[in-house]
Amino acid sequence: MAAARPKTKPASKARVPLDPDKLVRQEAGTYRTADGRFAVRSDRPGAWYVTDGLRVDGFGLELTLGPVATRAATAPLITAQRAEARGTAAGTTPEGVAVPEEAVAVPEPARAYRPPRRASEPTPASTVESAPQPPPATQPEPEPMRVVLPRRRRTGDERDEVADVSRAMSDAWATGQPGPMESHLHPSMVMLTASRGRITGRKAALSSYLDQTRPGRLRAYEESDVTVDAWADTAVVTSSFAIERDADGVPDIERGKQQVVFARIDGSWLAVWRSVTSDRQP
């Protein structure tokens, strides 16, 4: 009988280095990179956001980038944020943020002085061909408008429909396109504002939304503490907001609260009444 062969251990496989940008699913619509720094989420179709856990924005909240149309499109945002981080490092103040290089104007190179040539003086052949000119200094592109709308747990009733309409209105206004919200306003809508008092009618309400964008270019809009209550065909949405504008290069932040009353008419939820209070005086 042949002697039994000694057992040998199988060769260990080489460990594959961890890809820090690999997305790991946390729950439906939420992913996180393997190193835990970035969160990738979607709160509605066609809108994906990237949150940097090591950076904060001007409000002291985690820096959020986006939206982009697909989850795959968040990869370049993560790569760029790792290479040249935006926002403020956690634990520091916004004043400690370094000015990005692309935000500094590039001065044009000084030209050497040449005495004026006399009319009878011939032009040397060497000066006929124009010398190559340096490319013009490029101005940095303005940062895209940042919109932060909170996620809401679905309740499975009419409050979800009201929340969706309210969110669509906020997104349309904050991105500078209030026109699409017209279909969500009642023809006889009433608005109460600190600057213009009582406003009646759909067109006047849209004009009021537009006026809020004119004092300075909008840089960020954020909603928080959103509450939706509904009774049969009536609903109320209450929320806090913060608006950051760029007024001649100086950040201007307005904070306040709003209440919007909705009525279900012919199967559609329409805004019929809105009240706004803020720390900005008329």
Last residue of a domain, one of 47, 76, 93: 93
pLDDT digits (tens, 9 = 90+) for 8-23: 666 556 666 778 888 9
Would you say residue 207 lies in a domain?
Answer: yes
- Best CA proximity match to 42, nearest among 3, 21, 71, 13: 71
Structure tokens at 149: 């709308």
How confident is residue 148, by pLDDT bands cut at 50, 70 and 90? confident
Shared domain check, 161 and 88? no
Judged against a pLDDT cut of 50, whether residue 152 lies above it is answered with yes
Higher pLDDT, 101 or 200: 200
Taking residues 187-193, report their average pLDDT: 90
Check residue 186 and give its pLDDT: 93
Taking residues 212-224, report their average pLDDT: 71
Shared domain check, 162 and 67? no
Structure tokens at 264: 């279900």
Shared domain check, 175 and 248? yes
How confident is residue 175, by pLDDT bands cut at 50, 70 and 90? confident
Taking residues 51-71, report their average pLDDT: 87
At 262, which CATH number? 3.10.450.50
Highest averaged pLDDT of the listed ranges 98-102, 136-140, 241-245: 241-245
Q: Under DSSP, is residue 165 helix (H, G, I), strand (E, B) or coil?
A: helix
Contact criterion met (CB below 8 Å) for 18 and 34: yes
Shared domain check, 157 and 55? no
Shared domain check, 273 and 163? yes
Q: Which domain holds residue 265?
A: 148-278
Check residue 97 and give its pLDDT: 40
Last residue of a domain, one of 68, 93, 118: 93
> CB-based burial of residue 168 (10 Å sphere; 0-12 exposed, 13-18 middle, 19+ buried)?
middle
43 vs 32: CA distance, rounded Å? 15
Judged against a pLDDT cut of 90, whether residue 105 lies above it is answered with no
Higher pLDDT, 109 or 142: 142
264 vs 258: CA distance, rounded Å? 20
Give the DSSP H/E element, type plus range, for residue 232. none
Check residue 281 and give its pLDDT: 52
Judged against a pLDDT cut of 50, whether residue 220 lies above it is answered with yes
Shared domain check, 249 and 155? yes
How confident is residue 1, by pLDDT bands cut at 50, 70 and 90? low
Shared domain check, 264 and 168? yes
Looking at the structure of the chain, the number of domains it has is: 2
Higher pLDDT, 108 or 74: 74
Shared domain check, 271 and 179? yes
Would you say residue 125 lies in a domain?
Answer: no
Structure tokens at 168: 């669509």
Strand partners, 147: 221
pLDDT digits (tens, 9 = 90+) for 80-103: 999 888 888 876 544 444 433 433
Contact criterion met (CB below 8 Å) for 282 and 96: no
Taking residues 183-202, report their average pLDDT: 87
Contact criterion met (CB below 8 Å) for 278 and 254: yes
Shared domain check, 41 and 163? no
Judged against a pLDDT cut of 60, whether residue 107 lies above it is answered with no
